[in-house]
Structure 1
Amino acid sequence: MFAVDLHAHTRFFHGHRALGDRFDPYGFRLLARALDARGLDGVATTNHDYYTPFSSSRVATIPGIEVSTTHGHVLVIGPDPPTETVPGEYTPAEVVELAHDRGCAAIVAHPYRDSTIRELEELPFDAIEINGKHPRTEQLVQRLAERHDLPLVGGSDAHYPFEAGRAYTRIDAAELTPEAVVEAIRDGRVEPRVAAGRFDRGLRRLYREIHSRKHPDGLLAEPSPGLGEPPDATDS
């Protein structure tokens, strides 16, 4: 059994690709140290719309990319993710097909933040994510996964190293390789975990306060029909 953060970034910011490329190796080293300190075994590096290979003696690294589709974000994780994608160019269905053609898993990222993928027709996703920035939507995500008969995974969505491991996935596999991770996700041999230590609780309270000031008019996402009213989805 391995503990892996399946959604983490190596930079503190979006955009500025050239600057980010120079920063990414440093950001990854900080990320690996933070995950090692939390006792995690591995991480999928899922930068927005590009993939860069990394390696570390501290944690196993799983290739990945977070693709910005026409209806929200999809994590593509596995041995051969696309190197780069154009934001908004692909539909979710196209990204699922692309992921499967490359032997990767396609995962719905943070379905209750900046995403309407959950409202689309049935698509052959491999899992749905419980996101570390929005753990209070966990029950909604569980119900969504049950409705679509899909496994649940966890990822921190960390952009800063201290956020790493806030949510992660327990993976039942004999070895921690990209192929084994994909197989375990598809077989449902995965289980999400949300960190509940004092630091994590304090961090969530701080981010809720920050986001309540940034979004004073309420929720970031509306529920799909039949899913009930969501809780405050402004955790970060």
Structure 2
Amino acid sequence: MFALDLHTHSRFFHWSPGGPTRFDPIGLSLATAVARLRGLDGIAVTNHDYAYAAERRLQTIPGIEVTTTDGHLLVVGPDPPSRTEPDELTPQEAVELAHERDCAAVVAHPFRNSELKDADADFDALELNGKNTEHVERTRALAAEMDVPLTGGSDAHYPVEVGRAYTLVHADELTPSAVADAIRDGRVEPVVNLNRFERTVDRAYTRVHAAKGFDTDDVSQRVDDA
């Protein structure tokens, strides 16, 4: 069994979309350093609409966060697309692309700025997002309704966020193909692990997302109720 944060970013901000910048190597190095300190076995690097991979002391799983026409889809596995155009692929097209490349397709933050949960697509899993732990119970219920497994990911843009949520992956080896297979087979378990500081940060994220007009209902259902 391996502990993996399946939703991290090597970029601190969303500006300059389309490909890696000179800051990505710094972001990845810091993220993997924090992951090691927190006892994780690896992270998936899932930048917005571009893939970035580099060898570090910690295992990194290739990935990309695709901006579909209805929300964000995590594509994790051995051969994610190197780049996607935001708002170009439908959920169905993005899932098909993931499967063609032997990757798993995971619905990211289903209750924040997303309609993916209503799409008729063959998703492999649903994410418990580390920035929206007020949605833990809603996400668990939705996964049961959709009959898909749950993964965990921090959605970290800053290294300090890595490991806020992660996934226990039941696999014999830590390779991109083995991780994708485990997600598709349901051999995964989400973990949300917030200390007092991170709970304060979580409430701040909720206020920021509310200011942006994102869905922040059910705030009382926080990680303590999971």
For normalisation by structure 2, the TM-score amounts to 0.92
Aligned counterparts of 2:75 and 2:18: Cα–Cα separation in 1: 23
Aligned counterparts of 1:150 and 1:19: Cα–Cα separation in 2: 31
State the Cα distance separating 1:200 from its structure 2 match.
1.9
CA contact (8 A) 2:125 2:148 kept: yes
2:13 aligns with 13
State the Cα distance separating 1:19 from its structure 2 match.
8.9
Alignment of 1:156-171 (within 5 A): 156-171=154-169
CA contact (8 A) 2:19 2:83 kept: no
Alignment of 1:106-185 (within 5 A): 106-121=105-120, 123-185=121-183
Q: Size of the alignment, in residue pairs?
A: 221
1:221 aligns with 215
Aligned counterparts of 1:206 and 1:160: Cα–Cα separation in 2: 15
* Cα separation, partners in 2 of 1:208 and 1:91, compared to 1, 3 Å: closer
Q: % of aligned pairs identical?
A: 52
1:98 aligns with 97
State the Cα distance separating 1:120 from its structure 2 match.
2.2
Aligned counterparts of 2:197 and 2:19: Cα–Cα separation in 1: 31
Please tell me the residue identity of whatever aligns with 2:219.
Answer: D
1:156-184, Cα deviation, whole Å (9 max, x unpaired): 00001111111000011111100110111
* Cα separation, partners in 2 of 1:124 and 1:17, compared to 1, 3 Å: closer
State the Cα distance separating 1:34 from its structure 2 match.
1.0
Higher Rg of the two aligned structures: 1
Aligned counterparts of 1:8 and 1:195: Cα–Cα separation in 2: 16
Aligned counterparts of 1:37 and 1:53: Cα–Cα separation in 2: 21
Gaps of 5+ in 2: none
* Cα separation, partners in 2 of 1:195 and 1:84, compared to 1, 3 Å: same
2:78 aligns with 79
1:93-112, Cα deviation, whole Å (9 max, x unpaired): 00000000000000000010
State the Cα distance separating 1:196 from its structure 2 match.
2.5
Please tell me the residue identity of whatever aligns with 2:188.
Answer: V
Within the alignment, does 1:44 sit opposite 2:31 as a pair?
A: no
SS at match of 1:43: strand
Aligned counterparts of 2:207 and 2:106: Cα–Cα separation in 1: 29
Please tell me the residue identity of whatever aligns with 1:53.
Answer: A
CA contact (8 A) 2:17 2:48 kept: no
Please tell me the residue identity of whatever aligns with 1:86.
Answer: E
SS at match of 1:75: strand
CA contact (8 A) 2:133 2:202 kept: no
Please tell me the residue identity of whatever aligns with 2:117.
Answer: R
* Cα separation, partners in 2 of 1:20 and 1:83, compared to 1, 3 Å: closer
State the Cα distance separating 1:203 from its structure 2 match.
2.1
